[in-house]
Amino acid sequence: MKKYLSLLLIILVMTACQQQVAKPAVSETIKIGFIGPLTGDTASLGTTLRDGAEIAVEEINAKGGVNGKKIEAIYEDGGCKAQGATLAAQKLINNDKVVLIIGGSCSSETLAAAPIAEEAKIILISPSSSNPDITKAGDYIFRTWPSDTGQGKAIAEKMIKDGITKVGIINTNSDYNIGLAKAFTESFTTNGGQVLIHEMYEQDSKDFRTQLTKIKAKNVEALYIVPYLEGGLILKQAKELGLTIPMYGSEVLGSKEIVNDAGGAAENVVYATAKFDDQAEPAKAFLAKYQQKYGKEPSYPSFAATAYDTVMVVTDAMKAGTESETIKNYLYNLNDYSGVAGTLTIDENGDALKEFQIMVIQNGEFIPLEKKKEGTTLPSALTITQDETGVLLSADAIEKGKVELTIKNAAQDQIATALEGPEIDEIYNTAPGKTTQVEISLAPGNYVVYDPVGDHRSKGLEATFTVVCKTC
């Protein structure tokens, strides 16, 4: 009997030990995932979002984390493409066991990851994806950046207000770009406008001259550009082809990289974006932290700020629990959240409700349109000095309306001076040592002055200027 009792006691102890060993370890951190393009042509978008999110993670962890647990962020490269985002979402959910995913950055990433997150009942919240189809992507799918339905409407209404009724469109063959071009077209045509030509190109393209040449042949009054980071090359090549019509675009154009790639061709480009006041104190403090941590300004300040807010919002939600249902209910009830990117409300579809603003690129800076050329006076006269070596202009921007045009011939022989721009295509002849003076009316837009004789223009004998309407 004693042997029996001793054996029974040993068995009970071993069973208890086995049960104790089999018990899963409690995680010491709360894992969240991130999906965005961290390499490739669109990496500056993804890294900007990642860096903004990381500042928030560090701040939260410095204060003790969420309910005593640190946030562990796992960053995955989605490549701004569906396949990369699919693999990233599967890894984060199945292998890393994250409680939620911030992303994708590009709409193609978000739309690809959404069904995976929805099936797993894992929150997917994007700080930058704007394709309208995301609205219906699922009950666990959210975003803190507004839908392109609003952006397309804002820029379409701006064009109509500017008197533009016939446009061309050029965009990347990707979900974000296609969705925004569609939203713009619907609003623009509803308001009486016409899209005369719509050209697309593949995401990795570098040469857009074929599409731009077709657009130029249609004599459109303006061009609407919906790119990714190749936007600067499109603007530059359009200028090289003599496409001098007004340029409008998506919020992606508000990037220093694009302005640099454009080589001056981005001046006076108008675009719409979610309203972001970088002079507000919370935004200034955040951007100062970004500069201090990374040694540079973010490529897209508003996206960096939105990524920061997104992390702050979901960690607030997790204070009540890390279960998806808890986080989901918090997000659906988010109203007038005050963050560094501004005020955020999420509607019944999981969409962010934010206002849009019209911006203009001026002197390489991104200026709200109402502040354009504030306190400055533009000239209403332009002097062109031309000889065998080139063309020199007295100003690179002048006021819309009647312009006093003076052409000075500094060459030994007679010169021809061509002027091309919106509603004008003229050639003026000037004798050696003489001047030609004319008064002409110029509409807002980009203009090019060049020597049309032989192959002079191809040798760089040209210059450009912009006509600005300060009250438009």
pLDDT reported for residue 23: 44
Strands (E), 141-249: 141-143, 166-172, 194-201, 222-226, 247-249
Q: Do the domains spanning 149-276+360-371 and 381-468 agree at the CATH topology level?
A: no
Q: Domain 381-468 class?
A: mainly beta
Domain boundaries, the chain: 29-146+278-354, 149-276+360-371, 381-468
Domain 29-146+278-354 grouped into CATH 3.40.50.2300: yes
Q: Assess contact for 114 and 82: CB atoms under 8 A.
A: no
Cis peptide before 104 (omega within 30 of 0): yes
**How would you write the pLDDT of the chain (472 residues) with one tens digit per residue?**
444 444 444 444 455 444 444 444 456 899 999 999 999 989 999 999 999 999 999 999 999 999 999 999 999 999 999 999 999 999 999 999 999 999 999 999 999 999 999 999 999 999 999 999 999 999 999 999 999 999 999 999 999 999 999 999 999 999 999 999 999 999 999 999 999 999 999 988 999 999 999 999 999 999 999 999 899 999 999 988 989 899 999 999 999 889 888 888 898 999 999 999 999 999 999 999 999 999 999 999 999 999 999 999 999 999 999 999 999 999 999 999 999 999 999 999 999 999 999 999 988 889 998 877 554 567 788 889 888 777 877 777 888 888 989 998 888 889 999 999 998 999 999 999 899 999 999 988 889 998 888 665 555 577 888 888 766 6
Alpha-carbon distance of 294 to 288, in angstroms, equals 10
Sign of the Cα pseudo-torsion (392, 398, 404, 405, in order): positive
Rounded CA gap, 202 and 174, in Å? 8
Cα–Cα distances (Å) from 435 to 383, 388, 416, 432, 442, in that order, read: 10, 16, 12, 8, 20
DSSP 122: -
Contact status, residue 239 vs residue 217, Cβ threshold 8 Å: no
Q: What is the pLDDT of residue 24?
A: 42
b/e per residue 338-363 (b: at least 16 CB within 10 A): ebbbbebebeeebbbebebbbbbbbe
Look at residue 334 in the predicted model and tell me its pLDDT.
Answer: 97
pLDDT at 13: 46
C-alpha–C-alpha distance, residues 128 and 126, integer Å: 6
Q: How far apart are CA 325 and CA 440, in angstroms?
A: 66
CA dist 162 and 113 (Å) reads: 39
Structure tokens at 429: 């002849």
Dist. CA 308–CA 58, nearest whole Å:
11
What CATH number is given for 149-276+360-371 in this structure?
3.40.50.2300
Identify the pLDDT of residue 419: 93
Residue 414 amino acid letter: Q
